Amino acid sequence: MPQKAPIALIGAGVIGRTHIDRLQQSSRARLCAIADPTEAGRALAGAAGVPCYASHAELLAAQRPAGAIVATPNATHVPVALDFLAAGVPVLVEKPVAGTVDDARRLVEAQSSHGVPVLVGHHRRHNPILQRARQLLDEGRLGRVVAAQAMATFLKPDAYFEATWRRQAGGGPVLINLIHDIDMLCFLLGEVRAVQAFASSATRGFEVEDTAVASLQFASGALGTVMVSDTATAPWCWDFCAGEQPQYPRQAVNSHFIAGTHGSLSLPDLSLWHYAGDRSWHAEMTRSQTAVHAADPYTRQLDHFVDLIEGHATVPLCSAADGLRTLAATLALHDAAVRGATVALG
Ligand SMILES: NC(=O)c1ccc[n+]([C@@H]2O[C@H](COP(=O)([O-])OP(=O)(O)OC[C@H]3O[C@@H](n4cnc5c(N)ncnc54)[C@H](O)[C@@H]3O)[C@@H](O)[C@H]2O)c1
């Protein structure tokens, strides 16, 4: 029986608890330590039977895990990850990869100079539904993609906003939620070249946006639109309809739509539309559906992280550079909304 890879968790908050749970269920990895300065962190470590350190530096001084999961607040992702990379320890860094594009670039450079694996926690890429969608696109089943739409509409309860940071810039649904949808579009359609956007805080009246829409231009030439609102009574969001998150009741609707010259695809139901005969809007369209096995993306993400650690995989499904591209497009959306201008990405 091969040894389980010892993985340290840095930051034992909301998503940290998901990582603890998946580590405890894993046949290939185990939680070996937690770094978190809070009493709650110590309690979680105690319950899991692993040591707790007040900081990742203390943890690194005491032990050398096979990998580290960085699930701390955004601004700390890169400084923490850099210390692990310098020690030769692979990292799974939660999304967004960094608080700023400059920080994300530092991580990309460090990954390249140390040659130590970095996986970014855009977990939806590990969902078999999204992987099948990518396969259909790669096989050319849609022809050339011309346009895509992603929706993320939901109603957050008032209690969610009791934490001050959730009412302030950077704590809103663009960087917390929509970044996942932008990453999905990047995964499927490639790099974003330019962004136009509007944001509104008119409903909740907080400093941070409650609603935003944007138009994206991809380097491939495809165009996309994205919409997010945390104040809408509406079911169109991946978290509801893909069934990834048991805490949200599941809705039988779609949230993502991709239109190509020879076919189109809705997600997550994986309906593929095309013309079997005449290709014209006067002809009947044919709809086919691919079934995929449901699988927990966080479990698959952890397995992929172990593959990277053990050298069974060499290319991360979401690299630091991928995380940088998604972050840059998401921050450009903010920028475009504030400036009322088109923001071009390098
Ligand atoms: N992939 C996903 O589905 C998903 C979901 C939620 C959050 N996230 C991301 O995970 C990160 C954490 O989010 P959260 O909601 O769990 O936040 P949280 O506030 O619930 O948890 C953060 C934890 O980190 C600890 N912490 C803070 N600074 C630290 C440091 N320097 N060293 C060690 N521990 C430290 C805090 O004490 C806290 O326990 C964010 O970047 C967020 O965007 C990802």
Q: Which tens digit of pLDDT belongs to each residue from 148-177?
A: 999 999 999 999 999 898 898 878 999 999
Considering the domain architecture, whether residues 147 and 273 belong to the same structural domain is answered as yes
What percent of the chain shows pLDDT beyond 70? 100
- CA 141 to ligand 1 center in whole angstroms: 39
Q: Quick one: pLDDT at residue 291? A: 83
- DSSP-based three-state secondary structure for 320: helix
Q: Quick one: pLDDT at residue 149? A: 98
Mean pLDDT of 129-151: 97
Tell me the residue type at 112. S
pLDDT digits (tens, 9 = 90+) for 229-257: 999 999 999 999 998 888 899 999 999 99
Considering the domain architecture, whether residues 146 and 105 belong to the same structural domain is answered as no
Mean pLDDT of 206-218: 97
Domain membership flag for residue 310: no
Q: Determine the Cα–Cα distance for residues 71 and 34; give it in Å rounded to an integer.
A: 11
CA 213 to the chain's CA centroid: 19
Burial class (CB in 10 A: 0-12, 13-18, 19+), 194: middle
Mean pLDDT of 54-75: 97
Question: For residue 12, which atom of ligand 1 is closest to its CA?
Answer: 39
Nearest protein CA to atom 6 of ligand 1, as residue = 15
pTM confidence score = 0.96
Sheet holding 67-70, edge to edge: 52-53, 29-35, 5-10, 67-70, 91-93, 118-120
Considering the domain architecture, whether residues 88 and 199 belong to the same structural domain is answered as no
Mean pLDDT of 106-123: 98
Which of 92, 116, 140 is the endpoint of a domain? Answer: 116
Residue 228 — pLDDT band, cuts 50, 70, 90? very high
Q: Confirm if 250 and 243 have CB atoms less than 8 A apart.
A: yes
Concatenating the DSSP letter of every residue in 78-143 gives HHHHHHHHHTT--EEEPSSS-SSHHHHHHHHHHHHHHT--EEE--GGGGSHHHHHHHHHHHTTTT-
- CA 76 to ligand 1 center in whole angstroms: 9
Q: Is the CB of 239 under 6 A from ligand 1?
A: no
Which of 94, 116, 138 is the endpoint of a domain? Answer: 116
> Best mutation site among 94, 156, 248, 326 for ligand 1, i.e. most ligand atoms within 8 A of its Cβ?
94
Q: How far is CA 135 from CA 119, 127, 188, 270, in A?
A: 21, 13, 9, 11
Nearest protein CA to atom 15 of ligand 1, as residue = 14
- CA 70 to ligand 1 center in whole angstroms: 8
Q: Quick one: pLDDT at residue 171? A: 85
Mean pLDDT of 216-227: 98
- CA 75 to ligand 1 center in whole angstroms: 10
Q: Is the CB of 12 under 6 A from ligand 1?
A: yes
Considering the domain architecture, whether residues 262 and 194 belong to the same structural domain is answered as yes
Closest CA to 216 of 194, 189, 187: 194
Residue 270 — pLDDT band, cuts 50, 70, 90? very high
Considering the domain architecture, whether residues 218 and 247 belong to the same structural domain is answered as yes
Question: For residue 76, which atom of ligand 1 is closest to its CA?
Answer: 31
Q: Is the CB of 37 under 6 A from ligand 1?
A: yes
Mean pLDDT of 327-339: 96
pLDDT digits (tens, 9 = 90+) for 177-200: 999 999 999 999 999 999 999 999
Which of 116, 148, 170 is the endpoint of a domain? Answer: 116
Q: CB-side exposure of 200: number of CA atoms within 13 Å? A: 13
Residue 143 — pLDDT band, cuts 50, 70, 90? very high
Q: What is the 3-state secondary structure (H, E, C) of 5-44?
A: EEEEEECCCHHHHHHHHHHHHCCCEEEEEEECCCHHHHHH
Model confidence at 1: pLDDT above 80: no
Q: Determine the Cα–Cα distance for residues 65 and 8; give it in Å rounded to an integer.
A: 6
Q: Quick one: pLDDT at residue 293? A: 86
Average pLDDT over all residues of the chain: 96
Considering the domain architecture, whether residues 198 and 338 belong to the same structural domain is answered as yes
Q: Is the CB of 56 under 6 A from ligand 1?
A: yes
Considering the domain architecture, whether residues 74 and 26 belong to the same structural domain is answered as yes
Domain membership flag for residue 307: no
Domain membership flag for residue 317: no
Residue 142 — pLDDT band, cuts 50, 70, 90? very high
Overall domain count for the chain: 2
- CA 74 to ligand 1 center in whole angstroms: 7
Burial class (CB in 10 A: 0-12, 13-18, 19+), 97: buried
Considering the domain architecture, whether residues 168 and 52 belong to the same structural domain is answered as no
Residue 201: give the domain boundaries: 125-295+327-344
Q: Quick one: pLDDT at residue 2? A: 79
- CA 55 to ligand 1 center in whole angstroms: 14
pLDDT digits (tens, 9 = 90+) for 294-304: 899 999 999 99
Nearest protein CA to atom 19 of ligand 1, as residue = 13
Considering the domain architecture, whether residues 35 and 133 belong to the same structural domain is answered as no
Q: Is the CB of 172 under 6 A from ligand 1?
A: no
Q: Is the CB of 88 under 6 A from ligand 1?
A: no
- CA 186 to ligand 1 center in whole angstroms: 24
Cross-strand partners of 287: 273
Domain membership flag for residue 88: yes
Q: Is the CB of 41 under 6 A from ligand 1?
A: yes
What percent of the chain shows pLDDT beyond 90? 94
**What's the chain's length in residues?**
346
Return the CATH number at 284: 3.30.360.10
Considering the domain architecture, whether residues 146 and 109 belong to the same structural domain is answered as no
Nearest protein CA to atom 2 of ligand 1, as residue = 15
Considering the domain architecture, whether residues 47 and 18 belong to the same structural domain is answered as yes
Instruction: State the distance between the two ends of the chain, measured CA to CA, in whole angstroms.
Output: 48
Considering the domain architecture, whether residues 289 and 147 belong to the same structural domain is answered as yes
